[in-house]
A and B are shown apart, each in its own frame.
Chain A
Amino acid sequence: MIISPQVTLHDKLAIKFKDEILQRIVETKAKGLILDISEIDIVDSFLVRQIGEIATAANIMGAQVVVVGLRAEVAMTLVEMGFSLRGVYIARDLERGLEILRKAGKR
Chain B
Amino acid sequence: MTQKSIEVVEVRSESDIVSARVSAKAMAEILGFGYMDQTRIATAVSELARNAFHFAGEGKVTIQPADREGRKGIEIVVEDHGPGIENLELALKGGYSTSGGLGFGLSGSEKLMDEFDVKTKIGKGTTVTIRKWL
A residues near B (Cβ < 8 Å) are 8, 10-13, 41-49, 52-53, 72-74, 76-77, 80-86
- Complex-state Cα separation, A73 to B36, whole angstroms: 5
Name the segment of B41-49, B75-83, B122-130 touching the other chain. B41-49
Q: Given A44-B50, A46-B100, A86-B99, are A80 and B40 neighbors across the interface (CB < 8 Å)?
A: yes
29 pairs, A vs B, C-beta closer than 8 Å:
A8-B22, A11-B14, A12-B14, A41-B42, A42-B25, A42-B39, A42-B46, A44-B21, A44-B47, A44-B50, A44-B108, A45-B102, A45-B104, A46-B46, A48-B99, A48-B100, A52-B100, A72-B36, A73-B36, A73-B39, A74-B39, A77-B40, A77-B43, A77-B112, A81-B107, A81-B111, A82-B94, A83-B100, A83-B104
Select B99's contact among A44, A49, A73, A80, beta carbons within 8 Å.
A49
Contact between B46 and A44, CB atoms less than 8 A apart: yes
Q: Report the count of interface residues on B (CB-CB < 8 A).
A: 31
Binary flags per residue of B97-109, CB closer than 8 Å to A gives 1, else 0: 0111110110111
Main secondary structure of the interface of A (DSSP, over half): helix
- Complex-state Cα separation, A15 to B82, whole angstroms: 24
Residues of the B chain whose Cβ atoms lie less than 8 Å from the Cβ of A76: 36, 39-40
- Complex-state Cα separation, A83 to B94, whole angstroms: 11
Contact between B96 and A82, CB atoms less than 8 A apart: yes
B118 touches A (CB below 8 Å): no
Q: Which residue of A12, A72, A83, A85 has the most chain B CB atoms within 10 A of its CB atom?
A: A83
